[in-house]
């Protein structure tokens, strides 16, 4: 028996193992690949009989699998010498399995999004009730479920920022940055939080880091200008406003900022 036919035999032998682990696509793929090998090789009479028996046994196993029957209720027909017909049926079965797999993934994604939405709603309600510690516990539990979701951490931070829980908001934003260190919008938010905490020097450091990733965002420069406004550094405020206007000359708020800074600077 050639090396290819030995491989075909091995593929068929692996089908039951895949099915026991509910790996339906690998099981059908193994069957498909084995049939392709059989079709492109000239088999001796004894080999034809052996593979016919192996294929019949594998088809029986596929047909007996409850999960597979739910997805593909049709009977797979096969007789010795009808490998091409079997291959067509396997192709159809594979399409059904892939479609079912995609639908399952979409369903899981929808469930995940719903869990996040429910968690964020609960955090918001707890903060509105003044239960900041309880809200933090709820937030930490949600993050534990989605540990590398930077956007979720940022959304949680926004809720704490709105509730004026600035230190907690900063902690969640800083954690989000560890997941996505080039996310300029996170630096922007951290800068805003630190400005409200009146930690101007640290806010400036974060904005400087943001500028290493992006120098074409007029709102970034505008927020830097707001930092310098609160810090009463009028020259730096004017400079930030000028850079915002250089990017977007129609940025009315930046123009007002520049006028204010120039007036203060004298």
pLDDT tens readout for residues 189-235: 999 999 999 999 999 999 999 999 899 999 999 999 999 999 999 99
Comparing CA positions, the residue from 138, 182, 181, 145 lying closest to residue 160 is 138
Amino acid 184: pLDDT:
87
Amino acid 182: pLDDT:
86
Structural domain harbouring 97: 3-105
Contact 47, 56 (CB under 8 A): no
Length of the chain (residues): 266
pLDDT tops 80 at residue 105: no
Residues 133 and 252 in one domain: yes
Residues 27 and 138 in one domain: no
Contact 112, 146 (CB under 8 A): yes
Residues 169 and 240 in one domain: yes
Confirm whether 153 is domain-assigned. Answer: yes
Residues 145 and 214 in one domain: yes
Confirm whether 123 is domain-assigned. Answer: no
Confirm whether 149 is domain-assigned. Answer: yes
Residues 179 and 69 in one domain: no
Residues 199 and 94 in one domain: no
Residues 141 and 261 in one domain: yes
Contact 123, 134 (CB under 8 A): no
pLDDT tops 90 at residue 22: no
Confirm whether 95 is domain-assigned. Answer: yes
Cα(163)–Cα(166) distance, integer angstroms: 8
Amino acid 1: pLDDT:
65
Q: How buried is residue 64: exposed, middle or buried, by Cβ count under 10 Å (0-12/13-18/19+)?
A: exposed
Crossing angle (nearest 10°) for helices 234-247 and 252-265: 150
Mean pLDDT for the stretch of residues 93-104: 86
Q: E strands along the chain, which residues?
A: none
Confirm whether 136 is domain-assigned. Answer: yes
Residue of 183 and 159 predicted with greater confidence: 159
Amino acid 81: pLDDT:
86
Contact 179, 150 (CB under 8 A): yes
Residues 138 and 169 in one domain: yes
Cα(13)–Cα(231) distance, integer angstroms: 73
Cα(24)–Cα(258) distance, integer angstroms: 65
Contact 7, 53 (CB under 8 A): no
Tens of pLDDT, residue by residue over 244-260, are 999 999 999 999 999 99
Residue 219 sits in a domain whose CATH number is 1.25.40.10
Write the DSSP symbol of residue 186: H
Tokens, residue 139: 């937030």
Cα(78)–Cα(90) distance, integer angstroms: 11
pLDDT tops 90 at residue 106: no
Residues 205 and 135 in one domain: yes
């Amino acid at each position: 028996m050639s090396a290819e036919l030995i491989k075909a035999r091995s593929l068929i032998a692996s089908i039951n193992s895949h099915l026991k682990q509910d790996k339906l696509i690998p099981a059908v793929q193994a069957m498909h690949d084995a049939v392709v090998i059989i079709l492109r090789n000239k088999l001796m009479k004894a080999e034809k009989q052996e593979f016919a028996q192996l294929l019949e046994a594998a088809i029986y196993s596929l047909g007996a699998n409850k999960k597979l029957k739910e997805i593909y209720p049709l009977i797979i027909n096969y007789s010795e010498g009808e490998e091409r017909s079997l291959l067509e049926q396997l192709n159809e079965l594979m399409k059904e399995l892939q479609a079912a797999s995609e639908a399952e993934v979409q369903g899981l994604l929808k469930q995940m999004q719903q869990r996040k939405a429910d968690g964020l709603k609960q955090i918001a309600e707890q903060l509105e009730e003044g239960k900041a510690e309880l809200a933090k516990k709820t937030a930490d539990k949600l993050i534990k479920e989605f540990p590398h979701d930077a956007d979720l951490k940022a959304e949680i931070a926004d809720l704490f920022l709105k509730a004026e829980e600035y230190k907690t908001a900063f902690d969640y934003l800083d954690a989000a940055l560890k997941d996505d260190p080039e996310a300029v919008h996170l630096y922007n938010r951290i800068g805003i939080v630190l400005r409200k905490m009146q930690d101007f020097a640290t806010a400036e450091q974060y904005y400087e880091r943001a500028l290493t990733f992006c120098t074409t965002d007029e709102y970034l420069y505008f927020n830097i200008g707001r930092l310098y406004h609160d810090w009463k550094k009028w020259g730096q405020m004017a400079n930030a406003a000028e850079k915002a206007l250089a990017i977007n000359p129609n940025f009315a708020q930046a123009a007002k900022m520049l006028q204010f800074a120039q007036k203060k600077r004298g």
